[in-house]
A and B are shown apart, each in its own frame.
Chain A
Amino acid sequence: MLGRRVSQPTRIDWWAASSFAFALLLLAPLLAVFFGIFEESQEWPHLARTVLPGYLLNTLILISGVGVLSACFAIPTAWLIATYEFPGRRFWQWALVMPLAVPTFASAFTYFDVLEFSIPLLVEVREVWGIEVMQWVERIIRYGTLITLLSGVLYPYLFILLRTTFEGQQSVYFEAGRVLGKSPRSIFRSIALPLARPALIAGLSLITMEVISDYGAVNFFGVPTLTEGIFRTWFGLGDRVSGLRLAAMVVALVFVVLWLESWQRKRQRYAESSQSSRPHRRLSPNRLGSIFAVVSCALPVLIGFAYPVSRLVSWAMIAGEDFDYSRFFEQIMSSLLLAASSALVITFLAFFLAFCASIQTGRLLPKWIQASTLGYAIPSVVTGVGVMVLFGRIDRFSHLSGFSLVLSGTLIAIGFAYAVRFMTVAYKPLGAAMDSVCGSLHEASRMLRRGRWSSLMKIHFPLLKLNMLACATLVFIDISKELPLTLVLRPSGFETLATFAFGFAKEGQIYDCAFPSLLITMLGVCGLLFINRWIQETTEHDT
């Protein structure tokens, strides 16, 4: 007798389905930008002929200038901190990260004086060599100051990655170099630096993205880049399609750089897992070497942190009692609340996505989820524009269906845009921690007949809750500093610390901009100190 066939209904994997949907939602604004570029635009040929080359040139000048100067700040300091034991090394190790807490626009306010100080020189140049030479000198001073201040604030991205890489490099390579008769300098040039290439490229890519994304500093210094161009085209000329095309160009530029690098790397490798290693032993430099080390570390901290912060403090003291604190605190509490709640939601969503990616046996969904966290590589103004287009379409559709406008110009739009932009800040570390800390614990949990929810809440969450707190702090700092995205999407009358500071500075109330700028910096410093301490404790605990 034939056995009875039992047909089972196809089961939907809700974990995979929901993570797919979330990822699609995060990618939607970028897709909106992509599809928008194919629409008709009357203005585009004119823009492409007149202002576009200038935007492109300025962007490339800033990218190369800031890249080179940041490398000059970060490479020697990271190497010195990782390799030598010199006076105050532990202090400098922390101090060198601190410029990350200063928003680029706040630093730009404090360096703007340089342009005023240069006026007597420019007058002299005009009298001796004429107006054309004077214009060139003025441009060099303006671009040079902007490049210096941006490098002073952004180099820590590279410094942190390089320091970790140099400290983690297998000491056996260093020893092999010395036994082969090479000096520490030669080993640095031929072995340590080439082996640190992935970190170097990753750090420079982050800096490049930050430079492309910057709006406050370039706007204040009058250097129109592609991002500034998007603002001018979209909000000044009202040409949406040209704005989207500029945005697409920015994204293409970022991806071409990343692709070229990975193609050029080809077969090379940068670490051997089979190689056993011993802990790094730091070298003691002589007196002259120690002085050189201290000066090398002090210079970027002075440019990126000490000078801007001391200027802001002195301005805040001048502003003193005239400042309208009650209005300021009233508005700012709501913006801090938005930043904190967005940071929490983003972190939990990143945790959920990282968990879904880790439990998948297939390769497609993890790749899809990873692609959805690309928002950080996209300039924030592009994300803002993408969210506007997307929510505008949804609202138009709901309006046609008889509903009122519900999304555009609301805090939901701004919170969603933060999620698109900063998801990767939480997702990357949580994904890595999930692989290294949790390993195959999920499989062990399933073997004990526990479901995914139980595994998520009883194993992964308790193990990673401190990592989540650190990620939430990072996201919170980033949101507090975020300017262009908030400018594009904020509801009418809504202010954040960043928009407050920028608004004051644009109106020429330079002393009043100090207080919100200092508050952002202080929040950043506290967050960085907390994360630094946490990383240190985790590392010590692991070893």
Chain B
Amino acid sequence: MILKINQISKTFARNEVAAVRDVSFSVGEGELLSLIGESGSGKTTLLRMIAGLEVPEKGEIHFKDQCYCGADIWVPPERRQVGLVFQGGALFPHMTVAQNIGYAIIGGDKDERGATIKDHLSLVRLLDKDKRYPHELSGGERQRVALARALASKPEVILLDEPYSNLDTALTYDLREEVKEILSSRRMTGILVTHNASDARHFADRIVILRKGRVIQAESVEAVAKEPADDYCRLLIHGRPSDS
């Protein structure tokens, strides 16, 4: 196991409703996993806790042999081996595409950094757009840069927070193919957060379904598709509440 989530919970003070309640699951090395649920099910909060952007109230997160958070332990996001692709890309608007990717590279001389930027630009097929600013790119191109930037920081686990939500259908199909291909070819471990069953099934080996902050079902894509745990899972996966 590369990542182990154990009995994790989080309540936001503002509305005092538990966003995540006693969630446990684990992710194997090189595995691709989808977290799926309706709005407010706690999937993004869970992802942010794995990234270190939210501090859980209780529970533990383990990465390999290291404890990322637990009793009296909390590793800040910059020290975790985790990359995150944000919903809108979160590209820095004052930097060009190449500068955005370069910002993620730590250490190395100028030539090495240049070569790494070029590798990642070529990986997402944007070599010719290195000098463009984010606002000069299309939605799909922005998300590809965001992926390249996340990969450039050399994470061992990559988290994707609804990366296709701002894109139209045609772009989504192209991009999700590309993302899966890139992650699979590098044997990266990845977690995708989405509310779209088609995206979730296409991306993952395994699916975790969340509802009101709890795990309802966590099984392989085939098992979830064949035997949804309840009507909620069926509605999410097949788009209808029952087989009838």
Contact of A183 among B51, B78, B150 (CB under 8 A): B78
Give A177 to B95 CA distance when docked, in angstroms: 13
- 1/0 contact string of A174-193 vs chain B (CB within 8 Å): 01111111110000001100
Q: What residues of chain B lie closer than 8 Å to A170, measured between beta carbons?
A: 90
Q: In this assembly, does A94 line the interface, its C-beta being within 8 Å of a C-beta of chain B?
A: no
A140 part of interface (Cβ distance < 8 Å): no
Q: Quick one: CB contact mask for B61-91 with A, threshold 8 Å, 1 for yes?
A: 0000000000000001111101110111111
With A272-B134, A274-B166 in contact, is A182–B78 under 8 Å at CB?
yes
**B78 to chain A: which residues have CB within 8 Å?**
178-183
A275 adjacent to chain B (CB < 8 Å): yes
* Nearest CB of A to B27, in Å: 17
Among all A-B residue pairs, the 8 with the closest Cβ atoms: A176-B90, A178-B77, A275-B88, A269-B93, A172-B90, A179-B84, A180-B104, A181-B78
Contact with B along A256-300 (1 / 0, CB 8 A): 000000000001111110111000000000000000000000000
Contact of B53 among A179, A181, A191, A276 (CB under 8 A): A179
Could you say which of A175, A194, A195, A267 contacts B90, with CB atoms under 8 Å apart? Answer: A175
Assess A268 versus B133: contact at CB under 8 Å? Given A180-B149, A275-B90: yes
Cα–Cα distance between A173 and B146 once the two chains are bound (Å): 12
Chain B 86-105 near chain A by CB (<8 Å), digits 1 or 0: 11111111110000000110
Distance in angstroms between the alpha carbons of A366 and B76 in the assembled complex: 50
Could you give 10 example pairs across A and B, Cβ below 8 Å?
A: A173-B90, A175-B51, A175-B90, A180-B83, A181-B79, A195-B94, A267-B133, A269-B94, A269-B135, A272-B88
Which residues of chain B (109-152) have a CB below 8 Å from chain A?
133-136, 149-150
Interface string of A492-528 (1 = CB under 8 A from B): 0000000000000000000000000000000000000
Min distance, Cβ A430 to any Cβ of chain B, angstroms: 29
Q: Inside 8 A of B53's CB, which chain A residues have their CB? A: 175, 178-179
For residue A197, CB closer than 8 A to chain B, the reply is: yes
B52 at the interface (CB under 8 A from A): yes
* Bound CA–CA A272/B133 (angstroms): 11
Contact check, B92 vs A173: say whether CB atoms are below 8 A apart: yes
A425 → B minimal CB distance (Å): 29
Whether a CB of chain A sits under 8 angstroms from the CB of B153 is yes
| Those of A187-210 within 8 Å (CB) of chain B | 190-191, 194-195, 197
Tally B residues with Cβ within 8 Å of A: 32
Instruction: Kindly name the residue among B82, B93, B95 whose own CB sees the greatest number of chain A CB atoms within 10 A.
Output: B93
| Number of inter-chain CB pairs below 8 Å | 81
CA gap between A505 and B135 in the complex, in Å: 56
Question: B88 contacts A274, CB within 8 Å?
Answer: yes
Is B106 close to A, CB under 8 A?
A: yes
CB <8 Å contact, B94 and A172: no
Q: Which residues of A contact B166 (CB under 8 A)?
A: 274
Looking at the assembled complex, report how far the CB atom of A291 sits from the nearest CB atom of chain B, in whole angstroms. Answer: 22
Closest CB-CB distance, A285 to chain B, in whole Å?
13
Instruction: With both chains docked as a complex, state the minimum distance between the C-beta of A487 and any C-beta of chain B, in angstroms.
Output: 44
Which residues of chain A come closer than 8 Å to B149, judged between CB atoms?
Answer: 180
Residues of B within 8 A of A177 (CB): 103
Whether A276 contacts B134 by the Cβ 8 Å rule is no
**Which of B79, B86, B135 has a CB less than 8 Å from the CB of A176?**
B86
User: Which residues on the A side are within 8 Å of B92 (C-beta)?
Assistant: 173, 176, 191, 195
CA of A178 to CA of B52, assembled, Å: 9
CA gap between A177 and B52 in the complex, in Å: 12
A150 to chain B, nearest CB (A): 30
Which residues of chain B are within 8 angstroms of A180 by Cβ–Cβ distance? 78, 83, 103-104, 149-150, 153
User: B93 to A181, Cβ gap below 8 A?
Assistant: no
The residue from A176, A181, A197, A274 contacting B94, defined by CB atoms under 8 A apart? A197
Given contacts A179-B78, A180-B78, A272-B88, 19 further A-B contacts (CB under 8 A): A170-B90, A172-B90, A175-B51, A175-B84, A175-B86, A175-B90, A176-B84, A176-B92, A178-B76, A179-B51, A179-B80, A179-B83, A180-B149, A191-B92, A267-B133, A272-B91, A272-B93, A272-B135, A276-B87
Residues of A within 8 A of B76 (CB): 178
| Across-interface contacts of A175 in B (CB, < 8 A) | 51, 53, 77, 84, 86, 90
A180 to B79, CA, bound (A): 9
Minimum CB distance partner of B89 in chain A: A275
Which of B89, B94, B103, B106 lies at the interface centre, i.e. has the most chain A CB atoms within 10 A of its CB? B94
Check B136–A271 contact: CB distance below 8 A. no
A180 to B92, CA, bound (A): 12
Residue of B nearest to A178 (CB): B77
Smallest CB-CB separation from A190: which chain B residue? B103
